[in-house]
Structure 1
Amino acid sequence: MAGGAGSAGGGSAAAEASGAVVHTARPGSLLEGSLWHPDPSTLTGRDARRVLADIGRVRSFLAALEALAVERVRLACEEEGRRAAERFEAQGGGPERFGGGLSRALAVSEVAVAEGISEFAAARLVGAAEALCGPQIAVLEGLESGTLTEAHARVVTDETSALPSECAEEFGIAALGRLETRTGRRRTPGEFRKAVRALRERMHPDSIRTRKARAAQERGVWVRPEPDGMCTLSALLPAEIGLAAANRLDTLARAQRRSDPEEGRTLPQLRADTLATLILTPTAPDGPPPPDAPELRDAPALPEAPQASPEAAPSPRLGESAPAPAAEIVVHIPAATLLGSSEEPAVLEGYGPIDADTARRLAAAAPTWQRLFTGTDGVPLSLGRSAYRPPKGLRRFIEYRDGTCQFPGCTRAARKAEIDHLTEWQDGGTTDAENLHALCTKHHALKSLQTWTPSRLPTGPDNATADTLWISPLGTRAVTGPTGHEPPDAGPPDASPPDGTPPADGPPDPPDASPPDGTPPADGPPDPPDASPPRHEPAEPQPPPF
């Protein structure tokens, strides 16, 4: 079995002929040589376990190599970022982008695209590589030799990320001294993390109060899509707030079970249903928060979970009598599905396909509808040079077509992104569907600073929307494209809500916003920054940082 292409050499060729598994370098790869091992299906269980141990040592070596490569990319991006900043200043300058961290944003984007990972995972890689190639060089040497697993190395780099640089090296050396117990037994990664975290608490020069106030700035809420119409909702909160919230959910769920002996839901299901009910049916949606609501800004005391009475109203079952979401969500529903003549799934923006029954239930609860033509009927897809800003109908068409930010790997919803001219307006670009695409604030800035450069590829078969080729300062090439909505031959039939009122399209389009001097008009305050998690994301399995 061959695991790669290229010449494996005499020894590897013989190994492959004998049934071994061989991996060789691809053409153009800078990694030379080959790797082979016996076919595991021919091994005894004892020998297969030895192969697993060998794989662990190889994985450690590759982790060290990856850290060295990522650090070199970071240093190269520092130079590219400096050049981009100088170029930007020479062209008249403007507001500072990325809080002065352009080089790091560029490095994260390079690593994410090169390895096909999220920018959250890439940011962890960049931070870990900087630590391993700097103050934690002893950890890097342990990885290279295979004496230290990447899981143990990850513990040190994770805990180092919150330490000031002046004590990071001393901390790393002291952490490695806790790799084994006093009896000589090597600690598992979980045991090692507990010991190293205690060490960090003792060595950190800042008080825990100061560190907690700083960490609280990263609090947030995230959603991770799950299969079969489900998702995971997670939050990063101060510990006392999160535990109080969990205790309250548990108290309410147990009270529900005590009050109804025939309740068939499990406690986890009751907690989930109670959480959804509390969030989606606020007692005072338009008023200020209750007086006893915890104020995160002032490091609150631990709030007590209220004691729910057995007579408390039961939590509705989700999908049956649960309240329809009152917050704004966007669902793309085919007209035939909406009218009940088709069971074609709808698309919940930010998630993906949902069943027709759920889509119709959401549509029935919607206060307003907006009709969207996905063909050329009814929507002006080209304004040429007559206007800079796309009108509302064209903007909705671009948002629906693109689905997400069109930068490689970005999943931010197009509805929360900015509509950008591929060829800039001041360079002769036109306002039409071919020259417009959705970019989130962060990646729009990378394009505007002329770091990553996009260009539209030729139109695909059947006049499908063309993809976009992106080229980075370091030569990375990546192709992105719309989410794949298939445009029908004509726009969907006009559909009105059940009460007979016409779809609400909101206020009329603004007048022509074409700037007289050819410079793009001010777009007002930028969209909020990308809602990707900071250092930790409880809803997502933590990716290895090297």
Structure 2
Amino acid sequence: MEVVLGVAAVLEAEPQGLLAAVPPHSACAVPAATDELRFPAAAPSIADVLALLRSVPLASNGAGMIEQMRELEDLKCAAGARQADTAVAFDCQQRREQAAAGVPAAEQGAGVAAQIALARGESPARGSRLLGLAKTLTGMPHTFAAFRSGLLNEWRVTLVVRETICLTPEDRAGVDEELGADTGALDGRGDKAIVAAVRAAAYRRDPASVAKRAARAATERSVSLRPAPDTMTYLTALLPVAQGVAAYTALTKDADTARAAGDERSRGQVMADTLVERVTGTPGGISGVQIQLVMTDRTLLQADAEPARLPGYGTIPAAAARDIALSPAATGTTEDPADIAGRHDLELWVRRLYTAPVAGELVAMDSKARFFPAGLKRFLRVRDITCRTPYCDAPIRHHDHITAWHDGGPTSARNGQGLCEACNHTKEIPGWTAKAVAGPRHTVATCTPTGHTYHSTAPPLPGTTFTATLTPMEGTAVVPFLSQSANYPAGSRRPPVPQRRR
């Protein structure tokens, strides 16, 4: 296990930062953002543009191929800028509709970012950042022009906006003019050089705001977990610089002491093991904490090669799963007895999960209570793994009735799904509907206010073979997100094209 102590505020740690810093109607006041979207009746569609692009032959020589790659990069930037234009126009259009429907001004715009995220195949958190970026760019014409022309790609435009988001719109526009990104002033510069230039310009404009931003960043300290290759994981702590350095120094001192006393583990291994033991309060690290490892009986008892599933991480090799289940005292660093000295064995509990034949769906559980009982909550967490909203990998925080309890929806496995907090709130916005539909396993169809339907199928449990099937109610292919299907190549994350509700 590797631990990364981050001390700098980054965009990924500020999921609402860009959106929250932009006044809700500021972008709607910029006519250019919507005027460009008024095409003549005979204007080509995006599908026409895509068809034309696919018809362009590959260049016949190296120089031509390099030129094509550069031109395609410009095309990507132009498409990204048009997406930003469209996002701003969509936000304004949705706000007008919500205002006409009597939605209070403070609630107008709710659900817009979530719809943009679904359309772009992104998580809701990233959808919020993309909308915030688009709205902010309307007040930074030079940066936006550089984006349209390909002088700055979407990530570098994001860096420029991120470093100026703490400024007032007037100061932000001043920095935008000073940098003159559309003149090529930033051309050829890498990410760090661009950040340094923008940060310096922002500080010259308003040093107090930059200082306040640094102070506010300390309130956003957090800890996150994400998978790493080879059944490892990154445990990341975003900390104020003093605390991060202090924690790292303490670990290095303990590692140096252990090494001086003859510990054969490497310095990094001692630091990692010490961190785990201090956080869990237990020698060996994980005793007393349920890790909910899911595997087939064949994998556990018959040395089968079927991978297992570890909630919070994902799929792990069968051999690694057996090591966790059957050799709980080992740390995984070495087989030397000194590596496990003084550590306590774990208690191993086996909970049977019954699945339906072929589809591999967990056998349902029902309850007459309004709130999901503990056993049913555990059932939903094992079945769904993460938030069931398409593209959202956030941890499950809410156990939700797909059809609301007050609308007659039962408290059952079929009518239940695991959602993150943000997606559960989005689901309650007027115009959003959800229902359980027929599918290869538990499948939910979510319909947005624009009439687009998105399907989410529970991922297969270990030991399940799955191919895409047709949903009788919709007549469209239902493919489980993050799973391979018969319609797409291995590793593809592309879902079925959303269907318009009629």
Interval containing the TM-score (normalised by the shorter chain): 0.5 to 0.7
Deviations 1:366-411 (A, max 9, x none): 56847354359x987345xx54334443343333223332222222
1:427 pairs with 2:427: no
TM superposition score normalised by structure 2: 0.67
Q: In 2, are the aligned partners of 1:110 and 1:476 still within 8 Å (CA)?
A: no
2:66 aligns to what? 49
- CA drift of 1:220 comes to 0.6
Provide the C-alpha distance between the structure 2 equivalents of 1:107 and 1:466, rounded to a whole number of angstroms.
Answer: 27
1:433 counterpart letter in structure 2: A
Secondary structure of 1:456 counterpart: strand
- CA drift of 1:30 comes to 7.0
- CA drift of 1:127 comes to 1.4
Provide the C-alpha distance between the structure 1 equivalents of 2:188 and 2:46, rounded to a whole number of angstroms.
Answer: 40
2:215 counterpart letter in structure 1: A
Selected match of 2:90 from 62, 73, 89: 73
1:172 pairs with 2:176: yes
2:481 aligns to what? none
Deviates more, 1:121-130 or 1:449-458: 449-458
Q: In 2, are the aligned partners of 1:84 and 1:451 still within 8 Å (CA)?
A: no
1:476 aligns to what? 452
1:39 pairs with 2:45: no
1:127 aligns to what? 132
1:314-353 alignment runs, 5 A limit:
322-335=284-297, 344-353=306-315
- CA drift of 1:194 comes to 0.9
2:47 aligns to what? 29
- CA drift of 1:179 comes to 7.6
Provide the C-alpha distance between the structure 1 equivalents of 2:345 and 2:91, rounded to a whole number of angstroms.
Answer: 49
State percent identity of aligned pairs: 27
- CA drift of 1:73 comes to 2.6
* CA separation of 1:359 and 1:71: change in aligned 2, threshold 3 A: farther
2:383 aligns to what? 401
**Which has the bigger relative contact order, CA under 8 A and spacing at least 6?**
1
Secondary structure of 1:34 counterpart: helix
1:137 counterpart letter in structure 2: P
Provide the C-alpha distance between the structure 2 equivalents of 1:57 and 1:162, rounded to a whole number of angstroms.
Answer: 29
1:229 aligns to what? 231
Provide the C-alpha distance between the structure 1 equivalents of 2:219 and 2:189, rounded to a whole number of angstroms.
Answer: 33
Secondary structure of 2:285 counterpart: coil
Provide the C-alpha distance between the structure 2 equivalents of 1:145 and 1:108, rounded to a whole number of angstroms.
Answer: 25
1:418 aligns to what? 399
| Structure 2, unaligned runs of 5 or more | 1-42, 330-343, 357-361, 465-502
Provide the C-alpha distance between the structure 2 equivalents of 1:445 and 1:325, rounded to a whole number of angstroms.
Answer: 35
- CA drift of 1:480 comes to 0.3
1:112 aligns to what? 117
Provide the C-alpha distance between the structure 2 equivalents of 1:58 and 1:375, rounded to a whole number of angstroms.
Answer: 48
* CA separation of 1:337 and 1:61: change in aligned 2, threshold 3 A: closer
Deviates more, 1:404-413 or 1:167-176: 404-413
Provide the C-alpha distance between the structure 2 equivalents of 1:235 and 1:116, rounded to a whole number of angstroms.
Answer: 27
Deviations 1:244-303 (A, max 9, x none): 33344344445555554x9463x5555444433443347xxxxxxxxxxxxxxxxxxxxx
Selected match of 1:467 from 426, 433, 443: 443
2:61 counterpart letter in structure 1: L
- CA drift of 1:346 comes to 3.5
1:485 pairs with 2:461: yes
Provide the C-alpha distance between the structure 2 equivalents of 1:254 and 1:165, rounded to a whole number of angstroms.
Answer: 51
Q: In 2, are the aligned partners of 1:406 and 1:439 still within 8 Å (CA)?
A: yes
2:292 counterpart letter in structure 1: V
How many residues of Structure 1 are paired with residues of Structure 2 in the alignment? 398
* CA separation of 1:361 and 1:476: change in aligned 2, threshold 3 A: farther
Q: In 1, are the aligned partners of 2:123 and 2:390 still within 8 Å (CA)?
A: no
1:146 pairs with 2:153: no
Provide the C-alpha distance between the structure 2 equivalents of 1:177 and 1:455, rounded to a whole number of angstroms.
Answer: 47
1:479 counterpart letter in structure 2: H
Provide the C-alpha distance between the structure 2 equivalents of 1:258 and 1:322, rounded to a whole number of angstroms.
Answer: 21
Q: In 2, are the aligned partners of 1:398 and 1:433 still within 8 Å (CA)?
A: yes
1:453 counterpart letter in structure 2: T
- CA drift of 1:129 comes to 0.5
* CA separation of 1:201 and 1:254: change in aligned 2, threshold 3 A: farther
- CA drift of 1:62 comes to 1.8
Provide the C-alpha distance between the structure 1 equivalents of 2:442 and 2:156, rounded to a whole number of angstroms.
Answer: 46
1:275 counterpart letter in structure 2: L
Secondary structure of 1:473 counterpart: coil
1:215 aligns to what? 217
Provide the C-alpha distance between the structure 2 equivalents of 1:185 and 1:400, rounded to a whole number of angstroms.
Answer: 49
CA-based RMSD: 3.8
- CA drift of 1:117 comes to 1.7
Deviations 1:130-189 (A, max 9, x none): 1112x11222122223344445423321212222334221121123279877xx985334
Q: In 1, are the aligned partners of 2:431 and 2:449 still within 8 Å (CA)?
A: yes
TM superposition score normalised by structure 1: 0.62
Selected match of 2:324 from 348, 358, 363: 358
1:272-351 alignment runs, 5 A limit:
272-281=272-281, 322-335=284-297, 344-351=306-313
2:391 counterpart letter in structure 1: G
- CA drift of 1:48 comes to 3.0
* CA separation of 1:112 and 1:84: change in aligned 2, threshold 3 A: farther
Q: In 2, are the aligned partners of 1:453 and 1:470 still within 8 Å (CA)?
A: yes
Provide the C-alpha distance between the structure 2 equivalents of 1:269 and 1:334, rounded to a whole number of angstroms.
Answer: 31
- CA drift of 1:473 comes to 0.9
1:470 counterpart letter in structure 2: T
Secondary structure of 1:243 counterpart: helix
